[in-house]
Amino acid sequence: MAKIAKSGIGVLIVNLGTPNSPKKKDVKEYLKEFLLDSRVIDINPIGRNLLVRGAILPFRAKSSAKLYEQLWTEEGSPLKVHGYKLAEKLQDVLGERFIVELAMRYQNPCIQDALDNLLNQQISSLIVVPLFPQYASATTGSVHQEVMTVLANRLVVPDVKFINSYYDHPKLIEAFIAKGKEHDIDSYDHVLFSYHGLPKRQLIKSDSGNCCFQSDDCCHNLDAANQHCYSAQCYATTKALVKALNLPLEKYSTCFQSRLGKDPWLEPYTSEVLKKRYAAGDRRILVFCPAFVADCLETTIEISVEYAEEFEEMGGEHLQLVEGLNADDVWVRGLKTIILEHL
């Protein structure tokens, strides 16, 4: 019997997305695709369309475009620039057996094109790696759904492996610690671990263990009932980072940023924690953003500019962002380990 030559293993790394440019029309197109995702704004389709097209886009596109103008570099969108560098380095460390493609859940490079590129190279199997350490329906779940939708239209579907989360993986923690140690941590009064927030209703909807928000600290310990809870995974990430940094309880806080709308979101809010820390006498704050593996609008602008200005206006001395993992070599090697462990 003739031997069949082994073909490559496809690796699809996926981040959230970015406008094609900081121009208002491109930002509006990005926001429309993003916010019309039923996993992002999880209300009935008519209400979602009325909210997004009638209330959010007409007012938010212009202000968001101004923020993206601040974020944009000569190379382009940082999220995309770091993504391509990560894919290139990951390809180098994984070797010829693997074929790495970058995609964005919204806009470009899109999942459809990235999957077509991989499948056209006759891959034997596919591993999907959302660049979100903690699982949420609005991020990882949306990526998985889109991949399955695209593959459902293919006559031949290879073996597929979806990575769900890696919130406390030692290699992820090692990479964040390496970035944190670029700063003199002891010179800061307090350390914030600020995660992207979510509406509380989304966590309640995905709670199969009937434990969501049943107590003030229900997310502080991860167990079988809440193992897929975004908030619980965030606290588990904090716990792993705090252990590695050897921080005492009074030296750190976990909080959530990027609230949108008036519905209750995960608390405590980062802005409220900053006020409390200032009132407690803290004047120098160091901020990790462990839900983001690459610097983006929520880190570079929201934390480094908006929250930094807010803290200094209170009278604070300095608020410092710990840079994202981006395409750092420690993270590239760590991601390689995570991928190989899931094969």
Question: How far apart are the C-alpha atoms of 231 and 218, rounded to whole Å?
Answer: 9
3-state secondary structure of 156: coil
- Does the pLDDT at position 333 exceed 80? yes
Question: Which secondary structure element, helix H or strand E, spans residue 180, and what is its range?
Answer: helix 170-180
Per-residue pLDDT for 4 more than 60? no
What local confidence, expressed as pLDDT, does residue 5 receive? Answer: 43
Confidence band for 1, pLDDT divided at 50, 70 and 90: very low
Residues listed for the chain:
343
Q: Which two tokens stand for residue 86?
A: 């990560």
Average pLDDT, the chain: 95
* CATH 3.40.50.1400 for domain 183-321: yes
DSSP strand E in the chain: where? 9-17, 98-106, 125-130, 159-162, 190-196, 252-257, 284-288, 318-321
Q: Note the pLDDT tens digit of each residue in 109-130.
A: 999 999 999 999 999 999 999 9
What's the confidence (pLDDT) of residue 220?
A: 87
Q: Percent of the chain scored above 90 by pLDDT?
A: 89
Which pair of tokens denotes residue 244?
């590695």
Residue ranges of the chain that CATH labels 3.40.50.1400: 9-165+329-342, 183-321
pTM over 0.85: yes
pLDDT tier, 6 (very low <50, low <70, confident <90, very high otherwise) = low
Q: Is the pLDDT of residue 262 over 90?
A: no
Determine contact, residues 236/166, Cβ cutoff 8 Å: no
Cβ-contact 326, 295 below 8 angstroms: yes
**One-letter amino acid identity for 67?**
L
pLDDT class of 223 with cuts at 50, 70, 90: confident
Q: The domain at 9-165+329-342 falls in which architecture?
A: 3-Layer(aba) Sandwich (3.40)
Region 81-107 average pLDDT: 98
The label of the residue with tokens 């716990």 reads: 239
How do strand 98-106 and strand 318-321 relate by DSSP bridges? unpaired
